[in-house]
Structure 1
Amino acid sequence: MAIRIALTGNPNTGKTTLFNALTGSNQTVGNWPGVTVEKKEGKLKGHSDVIITDLPGIYSLSPYTLEEVVARNYILNEKPDAVLNIIDGTNLERNLYLTSQVTELGVPVVIAVNMLDVLEKSGNKLDLDKMSESLGCPVVEISALKGTGIMEAAEKAISLAKSKTLPKEQHVFDKNVESAVKDIIDLLPGNVPDLQKRWYGIKLFQRDAKAVEQLNISDDTLNKIEKIITTCEDAMDDEAESIITSERYNYISNVIASFYKVKNKDYVSISDRIDKIVTNRILGLPIFAAIMFLVYYISITTIGTGMTDWVNDELIANIIQPGIQGFLESVGAAEWLVGLIVNGIVAGVGAVLGFLPQMLTLFFFLAILEGCGYMARIAFVMDRVFRRFGLSGKSFIPILIGTGCGVPGIMASRTIESEHDRRMTVITTTFIPCSAKLPVIALISGALFDNSPWVASSAYFVGIAAIVVSGIMLKKTKMFSGDPSPFVIELPAYHIPTAGSVIRSMAERGTSFVKKAGTVITLATILVWFLSYFGFVNGAFTYLTEEQMDVSLLAHIGNTFAWIFAPLGWGTWKPAVAAITGLMAKENVVGTFGILYHVSNFDKDTGEGIWQLLRADYTPLTAYSYLIFNLLCAPCIAAMSAIRREMSSVKWFWTAVGYQCGFAYIVGMIIYQIGSLIITGKFGIGTIFGFIGIIAIIYGLVRKPYDESKAAQKAGARA
């Protein structure tokens, strides 16, 4: 029978790094039964009979978040054979708060102390033997980053699981609390396991609604328990929840003194010194902007561009396409089949994959920023900004995740307790450029702006601005009003990420992109090619040449709705249909351009290629309007499906998609119309609508917020 080990700990303690190191590629990802929080499991390396379950990162086992409920229900109900609790050695007091609860659950526990090397650099010492004695369970030193001690910790957990050795009860609360908990335990139903009675006794003392629900306690018993709690609260002059929290921290402070020796109380770590600058109220945002500009500059303009140019101009245009075309013609393939493969699949998918080097470069730098701990600081800095506008810093976590893919970013909104904030986060998260939008950014930046880093980086900051502006406006409506959700985040010590973790992160994102190119994008390019190269000429349905595309089926379809985008500056059928195909997958925008602007016998010496054709059809202003519209409008089908699942309502789904498309349209129109007024000095009907859009946004920003209390008073008056 397999041994099951649950991995638990605070966020940013190295838990995910430890899980990846213990399991390698032997992982499966799904959802917890009955809920939609991600579930990760894997077999321990070298132990096919040992399953490691990565529980969500949590700060306590209180029922305040879905992650906390999932973690404690798994341990209580699934009863893993052991728990491996990873803690950050540089932040013992905060981490041991969770440990003090885990050791009460009636399962074997091993404590793995991570980042001990960082702690010892300050001159402070941690006596692991005394720590083990004080906490009543084995303590092992590990380095999740370097991979040292991790197998020893796992082996110790396996040993405890086999021997069923439980933690020794160490901490005792105040006598009034202990008396109250004992009296509550005496009232518990008979089906509660002995090993979990103290756990349930404490939770009922805290008036834990989930515990009451699980035990199905009668009203008579609940009344008795309430009297016990009230008596204790009166005696200690405090509320039950606060009493337990205070008692736990008192216990932690006392035991830490027995095994943790501080050499220099005035010591300031390197991380703290760096944080004084990068999280500074004044410098934090400019530093963040400078770092992201540099990341996009290197990825889109320098290193990434050189590789992308070689892939597009040499590998695909001069080697792959001519080679495949020559082979097909030599075997006598039909003209339409040659066109489908060369001008459809290779041109469309190749146009997308051509930007893979730039994307991998960007993924590389984002992985470094995440791995070193800087992204956690950005969430902290942005919380200050968001909170000023009635938003929660918790909303920035899905945004960070959404830079890779909008789907997990949308799913990450589940951690937000407020339903209003959660829905608003789901609606706005996809405004941030994800990996699928990077080829669009790179194409527009390269073709119309000579690979300007300002264009690429501005796309990122326009996304953030759109989220902030939308949040301000939506918060002032009845549907989204309310105080922002509280935001708590652990700032890990800075460290140099391992090459393995950076490469793994980059490879996972790159592989996901390539898989999409091989499936959704390939199917879309085949459809776009067929519609582009077939049409009616002189009443006959026929295969068309490149010069006849304007009479193709796709041209007829595009012309029926292209006029809608005229106020945005690109009201012709080619960009219109490309934007629509982008709703399947954003990469399809580039793939569609690769087909519609394909030129046979590409010659890089004459410069007659897709970028030159784009420059002939678009001005920088229309191109930027097109870029921003595609960044902000409704995301791909996969992300829209995620929105549908998270909203659990058809009405809310269409509200989200409608807002995204409407907001993108207004912003794109404002950019083009006001830009045209500045550049040409001409004032037309479109410019009027542009000003109306600006006025509407300003009104949404400055008008008085929706007041729930006054609304309730009016409703009561009407009643």
Structure 2
Amino acid sequence: MNIKIALAGNPNCGKTTMFNALTGSSQYVGNWPGVTVEKKGGKLKGHKDVEIIDLPGIYSLSPYTLEEVVSRNYLLGDKPDAIINIVDSTNIERNLYLTTQLVEIGIPVVIALNMTDILRKNGDQIDVKKLSHKLGCEIIETSALKGEGCKEVAEKAIALVKAKSKNVPQHTFSQEVEEALSLIEDILSYSMEEDNLHWYAIKLFERDKKVMEQIELSEDAMSRIEEIAKGCETTFDDDSESIITNERYTYISKIIKECVRRKNNSKMTSSDKIDRIVTNRFLALPIFALVMFLVYYVSISTVGTWLTDWTNDVLFGEIIPPAVENFLVSVGTAEWLNSLILDGIIGGVGAVLGFLPQMLVLFLFLAILEDCGYMARIAFIMDRIFRRFGLSGKSFIPMLIGTGCSVPGIMASRTIENESDRKMTIITTSFIPCSAKLPIIALIAGALFPESTWVGPSAYFIGVAAIIISGVILKKTKGFAGDPAPFVMELPPYHIPGAKSVLIHMLDRGKSFVKKAGTIIFLASGAIWFLSSFNWPMEMVDTAESMLATIGKVIAPVFSPLGFGNWESAVATFTGLIAKENVVGTFGILFGFAEVAENGAEIWPLLQQSFTQLSAFSFLLFNLLCAPCFAAVGAIKREMGNGKWTLIAVGYQTGFAYVISLIVYQLGMLFTGNGFGIGSAIAFVLVALILYMLFRPYKNVDNNVNVSKRAVGA
């Protein structure tokens, strides 16, 4: 007998942590809505016949967000055998709103009363036995973070399925509403299963459009239901959906008063005290800037650099290349094969993998910030800024996800209901430096700015600035005009990050990077080696006479106004479209990374011969902001839904990157004493155009008001 158990709960209730505990899955735990966009499954540990389905975090079963649609469709369409409803015991009022809906759909429900360790620490008490009786379903106290009660709640759900038990909703609405629902149930009874009858009656009473489209009722039946709803609306002097919402909260307030005892309702929690500082209107942004500066400074300029230097100088310098070369010589391989392996594979892949330690340090810090609850505050903080420029704070959530990889960040944009905001988010998400761009940042910072602490952190803030500037410009165009969608999100309580979840997050991202290095970058390195080692008649030649050099010299003039008109840089930029790490891999091959490392030298002096600090920074800017890798472009196409918008997105990203890099380089040349020329004139014209686009008035758009706030009960 195969059993399916769905996990359902509010965002940040500990649902995905419990999923990991039950299945042993390495799925990452996030602190904002939208991480779990689609349902995920895993086998219950010790039960090969029991599948656990992790549904997106939702606040209700109303079809307002994609997460709610996904969860509702699964629960009503696929019909799991049981539901484990994870309830945050520290925010029980808000969480029980979903519970009252889950118990109505006819599937056995077990409540996992989660975070009870924090509840007890706060001195609060919940009468579990009485609450279970009031809700009409079993309740197990759990702490998913510590692994307490998780096994018991799963076994209770299995027992309910095997016993074919059905929980009976204990809550009732007011007499007038119950009479109205009873009349609707009578209309539905001829075409609806009894298990779901009450739930569908409520949804039709609320005029749920998706349910009305799903159920095939005659016009006469629909008009009778409409008449019933209007009668109730007249009685309560309110719309039908608000009537049901108020009825649910009235019921929840009643049982909370009977079952929950607070130690001190007026006492500020530790999270509240911290938030008075970190989300303060004046201090929030400086604190955020300082935190991100320290994260990138430590990752790129100090600890990360020490580890990377050891990896490059020792592992890929003194250990791997000599060992591989000695082996190849001993077996008598051909010269071209030696070059392929040493200069192509080790030179290309090794140049990229050398930056893995810096990436792991960055992933570690980001995982700590996310797990402790601070990243959710960043989205809240950025909403204040974004809304001043016509953007929704909800757009910042995909950008937070995009710090690991642009692909899931772009996919997370599907949680944004406003179509214009969603498209704008898709276009701008890749401006935030993802893990693939970190090796480029580290390479340029190490080679051209060895004593500077600002280059690495500046990459992150340049991405944020690019998003804000682009958001203002795009919002004032016809395709993106309109008020931003309201942003309401929960701020979870601060807690000490779990070592296991932090390490899982760090290692998962690191594993994805190594996997890409072993596949896409491996193949790309081989192709780059071939093109850089042979000429068109297929003769093995010096790099400067190769096919790659010929191609590079054709496209290099395009980048001359940006300061990096040498063919090596042009080729590296072009190969970065396959995967951004290829920029570093290409330099590794073209500058003989394996050879210089083996001889005890470094690649830095070779890069210094090709760049000035100004041209290097311009190169960095362009590669940070231009079109992302092919995988991300594919994600853009899937989310946009058509090729036209994909071309618009890629065209805007590349054009914006070119303009910004040109302005920085040309004005930099002017201010460093190189005189005024045609490049400087073009740069001033572009600056004037950007300022005009930024400060021209919005058309047909009302003044935006910041509506960002904590969710009820958060």
Q: Secondary structure at the match of 2:480?
A: coil
Moved more, 556-565 or 328-337: 328-337
The answer to whether the aligner puts 1:563 opposite 2:560 as a matched pair is no
Cα distance in 1 for residues equivalent to 2:192 and 2:72: 15
Q: Structure 2 matches for 1:5-16, cutoff 5 A?
A: 5-16=5-16
Counterpart of 2:18 in structure 1 is 18
Moved more, 491-500 or 622-631: 491-500
Shift of 1:603: 6.2
The answer to whether the aligner puts 1:197 opposite 2:191 as a matched pair is no
Shift of 1:164: 2.6
Shift of 1:39: 2.8
Change (3 A) 1:686 1:220: same
Cα distance in 1 for residues equivalent to 2:261 and 2:25: 39
- Note if contact 2:189-2:197 (Cα within 8 Å) is conserved in structure 1: no
Post-superposition Cα deviations, 1:652-698, rounded to whole Å, max 9, x if no partner, equal 01000000100111111111111111112521111122122212211
Counterpart of 1:362 in structure 2 is 362
Shift of 1:218: 2.1
Cα distance in 1 for residues equivalent to 2:554 and 2:226: 69
- Note if contact 2:316-2:594 (Cα within 8 Å) is conserved in structure 1: no
The residue identity in structure 2 corresponding to 1:569 is G
Shift of 1:318: 1.8
- Note if contact 2:86-2:113 (Cα within 8 Å) is conserved in structure 1: yes
Shift of 1:25: 3.5
The answer to whether the aligner puts 1:624 opposite 2:613 as a matched pair is no
Counterpart of 1:662 in structure 2 is 655
Counterpart of 2:707 in structure 1 is none
The residue identity in structure 1 corresponding to 2:154 is A
Q: Secondary structure at the match of 2:112?
A: strand
Question: Which is bigger in relative contact order (C-alpha 8 A, separation at least 6)?
Answer: 2
The TM-score, its normalising length taken from structure 1, stands at 0.94
Counterpart of 1:641 in structure 2 is 634
Q: Structure 2 matches for 1:62-141, cutoff 5 A?
A: 62-141=62-141
Moved more, 118-127 or 309-318: 118-127
Q: Secondary structure at the match of 1:589?
A: helix
Cα distance in 1 for residues equivalent to 2:535 and 2:412: 45
Counterpart of 1:679 in structure 2 is 672
Cα distance in 2 for residues equivalent to 1:275 and 1:27: 28
Counterpart of 1:575 in structure 2 is 569
Counterpart of 1:312 in structure 2 is 312
The answer to whether the aligner puts 1:542 opposite 2:542 as a matched pair is no
Shift of 1:74: 1.0
Counterpart of 1:590 in structure 2 is 584
Counterpart of 1:32 in structure 2 is none
Cα distance in 2 for residues equivalent to 1:135 and 1:39: 26
Q: Structure 2 matches for 1:247-286, cutoff 5 A?
A: 247-286=247-286
The residue identity in structure 1 corresponding to 2:38 is E
Q: Secondary structure at the match of 1:41?
A: strand
Q: Structure 2 matches for 1:210-225, cutoff 5 A?
A: 210-225=210-225
Change (3 A) 1:38 1:265: closer
The residue identity in structure 2 corresponding to 1:586 is K
Change (3 A) 1:421 1:702: same
Q: Secondary structure at the match of 1:84?
A: strand
The residue identity in structure 1 corresponding to 2:670 is L
Shift of 1:451: 6.0
- Note if contact 2:445-2:452 (Cα within 8 Å) is conserved in structure 1: yes
Q: Secondary structure at the match of 2:45?
A: coil
Post-superposition Cα deviations, 1:59-113, rounded to whole Å, max 9, x if no partner, equal 1100111211111121112111110011111111111111111111111111111
Moved more, 497-506 or 510-519: 497-506
Cα distance in 2 for residues equivalent to 1:212 and 1:425: 32
Change (3 A) 1:179 1:599: closer
Shift of 1:219: 2.1
Cα distance in 2 for residues equivalent to 1:21 and 1:553: 54
Q: Secondary structure at the match of 1:446?
A: helix
Q: Secondary structure at the match of 1:164?
A: coil
The residue identity in structure 1 corresponding to 2:270 is I
List gaps (5 residues or longer) in structure 1.
29-35, 710-719
Cα distance in 2 for residues equivalent to 1:152 and 1:226: 45
Change (3 A) 1:429 1:600: closer
Q: Structure 2 matches for 1:22-33, cutoff 5 A?
A: 22-25=22-25
Cα distance in 2 for residues equivalent to 1:599 and 1:293: 30
- Note if contact 1:301-1:453 (Cα within 8 Å) is conserved in structure 2: yes
Shift of 1:40: 0.7
Counterpart of 1:155 in structure 2 is 155
Shift of 1:616: 1.5
Change (3 A) 1:593 1:258: same
The answer to whether the aligner puts 1:690 opposite 2:700 as a matched pair is no
Cα distance in 1 for residues equivalent to 2:616 and 2:239: 60
Counterpart of 1:501 in structure 2 is 501
The residue identity in structure 2 corresponding to 1:379 is A
Counterpart of 2:711 in structure 1 is none
Q: Secondary structure at the match of 2:519?
A: helix
Counterpart of 1:439 in structure 2 is 439
Change (3 A) 1:402 1:600: closer
Cα distance in 2 for residues equivalent to 1:130 and 1:522: 61
Counterpart of 1:529 in structure 2 is 529
The residue identity in structure 1 corresponding to 2:588 is G
Post-superposition Cα deviations, 1:437-474, rounded to whole Å, max 9, x if no partner, equal 11111111111111633111110111111111111111
Cα distance in 2 for residues equivalent to 1:26 and 1:309: 30
**Equivalent of residue 699 in structure 2, options 696, 699, 706:** 706
- Note if contact 1:598-1:609 (Cα within 8 Å) is conserved in structure 2: no
The residue identity in structure 2 corresponding to 1:679 is T
Cα distance in 1 for residues equivalent to 2:37 and 2:306: 41
Q: Structure 2 matches for 1:52-67, cutoff 5 A?
A: 52-67=52-67
Counterpart of 2:330 in structure 1 is 330
Shift of 1:708: 7.3
Q: Secondary structure at the match of 1:666?
A: helix
Q: Secondary structure at the match of 2:39?
A: strand
The residue identity in structure 2 corresponding to 1:380 is F
Shift of 1:190: 2.2
- Note if contact 1:633-1:660 (Cα within 8 Å) is conserved in structure 2: yes
Counterpart of 2:548 in structure 1 is 554
Post-superposition Cα deviations, 1:582-622, rounded to whole Å, max 9, x if no partner, equal 0000000000000111167536897x421111111111111
Counterpart of 1:714 in structure 2 is none
Shift of 1:145: 0.8
Cα distance in 2 for residues equivalent to 1:603 and 1:253: 69
Shift of 1:330: 2.5
Cα distance in 1 for residues equivalent to 2:643 and 2:701: 25
Cα distance in 1 for residues equivalent to 2:89 and 2:685: 56
Cα distance in 2 for residues equivalent to 1:26 and 1:458: 32
Counterpart of 1:472 in structure 2 is 472
